[in-house]
Amino acid sequence: MNWLHAIILGIVEGVTEFLPVSSTGHLNIVEKLLGYDIDSRGMTAFTAVIQVGAIIAAIVYFLGDIVRIVRAWFRGLASSEGRRDPDYTLGWGIILGSIPVAVIGLAFRGWIEGPLRSMWVIAIALIVWSAAMWAADRIAAHQVDPKQMGDVSVRDALVIGGFQALAPLFPGVSRSGATISAGLMLGYDRVTATRLSFFMGIPALVAAGGLEAVTSASDISATVGWGPTVIATVVSFVVAYASIAWLLRFVSKNSFTSFIVYRVILGLVIIGLVTGGVVGA
């Protein structure tokens, strides 16, 4: 991989990782257009590893919140008074809510890295899940007294974590799209649902990227190369940090309608590109 392609893919990852539009779907599409084999072990590992740059951006952006939650969790382990802190419950929710995606990711790794990495799957998932996002957004629009971050329960976190597990199975659903939709359906406001999506994604994506970096180091070395991989990861970090700040401002004043419309259009474009022979399925 040349450095220009690495920069392009780093930008795509950084922009789309936290938007409810499927970063994996976008990366696969752009990788296809650039002439890469998205089914190869090297490209699969590259796609997972550069996500770490975006996740580090989330960690840096939310560092104050993360430190507060971690402290509350440890205080709760040590005292009954600490267990009354909502952040203690949130800490358990993030931990337990991360389990479903880890189980699914390991159990179906062969499918995720093989047959499910298809342009048809991405296109259909983009369009179908848009209906779920639309329904969730309508629920949010009619909430009179939406839940806030202090209302997060372990049960809600497990539900959101279960939705998060759909993302690796069906590229195109979007991890953030799934978790935000779940949060909205559970009665949280848009900003809280979006922040929960960030918190729930950090452990899962760090683990996924770290696993690929360790187990597929030789595949990356033999195909993409570690130089371009590092460049793409750094670029994704910088772009993702700006994307996070923009998204939180956007959802505080707007619905998710524009993302839903974009997803449907993109899904139809992919179908057109595949049926027209511009890109392979």
Q: How far apart are the first and last CA of the chain?
A: 22
Reference 105, options 5, 19, 244, 209; nearest CA is 209
Higher pLDDT, 259 or 101: 259
Cβ-proximal residues to 48 (8 Å cutoff; 6+ apart), any chain: 208, 209, 211, 212
Lowest mean pLDDT of 14-18, 58-62, 222-226, 235-239, name the range.
222-226
Judge whether residue 189 has pLDDT over 70: yes
Q: Which helix (H) or strand (E) holds 47?
A: helix 41-61
Distance CA 239, CA 18 (A): 11
pLDDT band at 281 (very low <50, low <70, confident <90, very high): low
Bridge partners of 170?
Answer: none
Reference 73, options 59, 50, 92; nearest CA is 92
Rounded mean pLDDT, 74-95: 90
C-alpha gyration radius of the chain? 18
- In a domain? residue 199: yes
- In a domain? residue 281: no
- In a domain? residue 280: no
Q: Which helix (H) or strand (E) holds 86?
A: helix 86-97
Q: How many structural domains comprise the chain? A: 1
Q: Give the angle subtended at the CA of 156 by the CAs of 133 and 103, to the nearest 5°.
A: 85
Distance CA 236, CA 230 (A): 10
pLDDT of residue 114: 59
Distance CA 38, CA 47 (A): 9
Cβ-proximal residues to 75 (8 Å cutoff; 6+ apart), any chain: 82, 85, 88
Q: Where are the alpha helices (DSSP H) in 113-256?
A: 119-141, 154-164, 166-169, 175-185, 190-215, 217-222, 226-251
Tokens of 52: 């770490």
Dmax (CA) of the chain: 63
Rounded mean pLDDT, 67-74: 94
Is 21 within 8 Å of 260 (Cβ atoms)?
no
Distance CA 268, CA 120 (A): 10
Tokens of 151: 């209302």
Q: Give the angle subtended at the CA of 200 by the CAs of 187 and 182, to the nearest 5°.
A: 30
Q: Please provide the size of the chain in residues.
A: 281
Query: For residue range 212-238, what is the model confidence (pLDDT) as tens digits?
Result: 777 777 878 888 888 999 999 999 999
Judge whether residue 276 has pLDDT over 90: no
Q: What is the residue range of 203's domain?
A: 3-275
